[in-house]
């Protein structure tokens, strides 16, 4: 059986499509025959509501896991997407960094909890998720460091806007620090361009500039600016369910396939 691949979806800038990517990539991977666990590490809980689940939907919260050492299993809920489960977030998570700021092992709380969960799950069922995706908050704080500690790789959404590369160097530096201090095996899966508007020359210029600076680190798949992607969360659905044939859904399906090819995990569509 192939190992679980844990991907942290990270960018300290807000509004770049990070949570949108977390939801829709998770759903697209599930539709490609993968089993996926999505961890909503952002206190805003937008990945939770975007999949039609309520914040605080479980007795044990992710805050309890990070701060009190509770088992992650108590937080996992099903979604309406076959093969996709979710660890919801809620506003309690906004106090997690302060609560563990001086604690021993504060950077590996999520890594330890996730490893224990996957081991127990395998003992009980004989299987583990093919993928764990972690939707990180828009900051390079302790929660994001926990995600980088737990992850095998990093996916960086980058909006096609004038300041696209601003802050990216700091993010890459943080990833390098995480490799040295908590996770020497961490790699970058790639930088993905989001909110691309083919009618706007700026999008073309930004895409060209990013590829010039980052080369092969930039994924081939580009996520377009698409009204269906924006509408889907209000219905508690990924765009792959809300409108499977729209450009946004097709783009996230292509992204899932590109990553599966990179990871050698193709199984075929559900």
Across residues 245-255, what is the average pLDDT? 97
Closest CA to 38 of 139, 141, 130: 130
Predicted confidence band of residue 202 (pLDDT cuts 50, 70, 90): confident
Counting residues of the chain whose pLDDT is more than 70, the rounded percentage is: 98
Domains present along the chain, CATH in parentheses: 5-189 (3.40.50.300)
Closest CA to 154 of 130, 178, 170: 178
pLDDT at 159 over 70: yes
The whole model's pTM is what?
0.94
Residues 6+ apart with CB under 8 A from 187: 152, 153, 154
State how far the Cα of 234 lies from the Cα of 239, in Å rounded to an integer: 11
Per DSSP, the residues of 182-210 read: T-TT-EEEEEEEEEE-TT-HHHHHHHHHH
pLDDT at 130 over 90: yes
């Amino acid at each position: 059986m192939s190992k679980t691949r844990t991907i942290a979806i990270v960018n300290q800038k807000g509004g770049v499509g990070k949570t949108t990517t977390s939801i829709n990539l998770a759903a697209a991977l599930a539709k490609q025959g993968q089993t996926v666990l999505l961890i909503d590490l952002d206190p805003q809980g937008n990945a939770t509501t975007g999949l039609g689940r309520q914040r605080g939907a479980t007795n044990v919260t992710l805050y309890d896991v990070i701060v009190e050492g509770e088992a992650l299993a108590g937080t996992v809920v099903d979604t309406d997407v076959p093969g996709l489960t979710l660890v919801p977030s809620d506003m309690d998570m906004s106090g997690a960094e302060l609560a563990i700021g001086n604690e021993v092992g504060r950077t590996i709380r999520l890594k330890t909890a996730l490893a224990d969960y996957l081991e127990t799950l395998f003992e009980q069922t004989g299987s583990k998720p093919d993928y764990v995706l972690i939707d990180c908050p828009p900051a390079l704080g302790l929660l994001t460091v926990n995600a980088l500690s737990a992850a095998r790789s990093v996916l960086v959404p980058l909006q096609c806007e004038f300041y696209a590369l601003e802050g990216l160097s700091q993010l890459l530096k943080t990833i390098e620090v995480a490799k040295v201090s908590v996770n020497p095996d961490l790699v970058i899966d790639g930088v993905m361009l989001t909110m691309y508007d083919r009618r706007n020359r700026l999008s073309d210029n930004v895409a060209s500039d990013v590829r010039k600076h980052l080369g092969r680190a930039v994924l081939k798949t580009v996520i377009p600016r698409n009204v269906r992607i924006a509408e889907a969360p209000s219905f508690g659905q990924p765009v792959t369910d809300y409108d499977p044939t729209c450009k946004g859904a097709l783009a996230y399906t292509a992204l899932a396939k590109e990553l599966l090819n990179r990871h050698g995990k193709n199984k075929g569509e559900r």
